[in-house]
Amino acid sequence: MKKPTAIATRLLDARIELLGKVWGEEPKLYNHAVLCSVGLPYRNPGDETRSFQRSSGTTSLRLEAGAMPMADGSFVDVGLPYGPRSRLLLLHLCSEAIIHQSPIVEVKDSFTAFASSLGLATTGRNLNTLRDQVRRMSVVTMRLAKQKGQYIDVFQGPVFSRMRAQFPTESSQLSLWPSFVEFNQEFFASLQKNAVPLRLEAVGALKHSSRCLDVYVWLSHRLWRINDAKPVRLKWTTLRFQFGRKDQEIKSFKRAFKTALVQVLMVYPEAKVEIIKGGLSLKRSPPPVVPLLVVTNQQSKTILGKQCLVTKGVGVVVYRSSDCLYL
């Protein structure tokens, strides 16, 4: 009998844990709703590539690479954030901001602890990789656009308005990773209104794959908003535009996407997703983090003994407390 791979074992363990979790606090992470539809680059596009764009339906993302300061006062260009570690980093920073209700997030110790909790090595080459993604993310400029009827809402600017980084002893080297970052106030306000809860166990099980993480956060945000009477059908070409490359051969994309989907459904067992002729069928499904309650207008609620300010966002409901559910 063939021995299961480390990834297969991790997915199975996470599924068992998720299905067996009935009582108690659910460990959560949070992502911005727009970033659930459009993801970062899968692979390193090269430091010479200074921008990246991706669109999905009415949602668009554009990233522009930034520059890190040097000890002599100059700046040096760094590349775009990419890959699964950049996604884990952004999830961690968004989660810390939501949980602590502060745009200022301590980075080095909190992220290494978070990475260790997911089983990622934080020494040697792996530490350098994590540090590189922190640098790239700290100085990236992001444009998020969401079309709403006859108008478009746009956020544009650096994700972080301020950071502090320690310089190495050699002045010719890049600064070490930032000790803290401060989210742009506009982005932070939008994140508070549009935070999507995710299960930490699921994210940890999918940490090996950018596409798996992207499909998981997309389904987590998309499925519970589908009309019961109107399942959604998506063509492979539409999915390729969102999760692949426009020039990617369709058979190659379908093979990669199906592999990712199987793994995602292992850790999102409530998801009603079916592969059909020509694409996917999506049906309304419970979100990974089950709501405590749902409201339709601004009001104050006491949940788990804590007072929570509840506001209605764009198709989402936000409970502003670490003990309250974000939807």
Statement to judge: residues 248 and 117 lie in one domain: no
Nearest to 281 by CA among 326, 250, 236: 236
96-108 as b/e, with b when 16 or more CB fall inside 10 Å?
bbbbeeebebebb
- Give the residue with greater pLDDT, 294 vs 147: 147
Statement to judge: residues 247 and 131 lie in one domain: no
Burial class (CB in 10 A: 0-12, 13-18, 19+), 66: buried
Determine the pLDDT at residue 9.
87
**What's the CA angle centered on 318, arms 315 and 319, to 5 degrees?**
155
Statement to judge: residues 44 and 60 lie in one domain: yes
Residues 6+ apart with CB under 8 A from 33: 194, 195, 196, 221, 313, 314, 315, 316
Number of domains in the chain: 3
Determine the pLDDT at residue 290.
74
Q: Is 1 a member of any domain?
A: no
Distances (CA, A) of 212 to 5, 11, 55, 148: 17, 12, 18, 28
**CA–CA separation, 97 and 118 (whole Å):** 19
Percent of the chain beyond pLDDT 70?
82
Q: Is 252 a member of any domain?
A: yes
Statement to judge: residues 296 and 153 lie in one domain: no
pLDDT digits (tens, 9 = 90+) for 212-256: 999 999 999 999 999 999 999 999 999 999 999 878 999 999 999
- Give the residue with greater pLDDT, 72 vs 30: 30
Statement to judge: residues 154 and 213 lie in one domain: no
Determine the pLDDT at residue 300.
44
- Give the residue with greater pLDDT, 256 vs 315: 256
**CA–CA separation, 29 and 13 (whole Å):** 19
Q: Can you tell me the mean pLDDT for 107-128?
A: 82
Q: Is 225 a member of any domain?
A: yes
pLDDT digits (tens, 9 = 90+) for 169-202: 554 445 556 788 899 999 999 899 889 999 999 9
Last residue of a domain, one of 167, 193, 219: 193
Residue pair 65/152 in contact (Cβ under 8 Å)? The answer is: no
Statement to judge: residues 104 and 81 lie in one domain: yes
Q: Is residue 299 scored above 80 in pLDDT?
A: no
pLDDT digits (tens, 9 = 90+) for 2-37: 778 888 888 888 888 777 664 445 678 999 998 999
Q: Is residue 157 scored above 80 in pLDDT?
A: yes
Q: Is 298 a member of any domain?
A: yes
Q: Is 130 a member of any domain?
A: yes
Statement to judge: residues 97 and 188 lie in one domain: yes
Statement to judge: residues 28 and 76 lie in one domain: no
Last residue of a domain, one of 138, 166, 193: 193
Percent of the chain beyond pLDDT 90?
50
Statement to judge: residues 102 and 217 lie in one domain: no
Residue 248 lies in domain: 6-32+196-283
Determine the pLDDT at residue 150.
80
Axis-axis angle for helices 185-193, 83-100 (nearest 10)? 80
Statement to judge: residues 43 and 88 lie in one domain: yes
Determine the pLDDT at residue 256.
96
Q: Is 302 a member of any domain?
A: yes
Last residue of a domain, one of 193, 224, 253: 193
Statement to judge: residues 132 and 53 lie in one domain: yes
Q: Is residue 82 scored above 90 in pLDDT?
A: yes
What is the H or E stretch that residue 137 is in?
helix 124-138
Determine the pLDDT at residue 292.
57
Average pLDDT of the chain is 83
Residues 6+ apart with CB under 8 A from 297: 312
Residue pair 287/220 in contact (Cβ under 8 Å)? The answer is: yes
Q: Is 86 a member of any domain?
A: yes
Q: Is residue 205 scored above 90 in pLDDT?
A: yes
Statement to judge: residues 43 and 94 lie in one domain: yes
Give the single-character DSSP code of 122.
Answer: -
Confidence bin at 211 (pLDDT 50/70/90):
very high
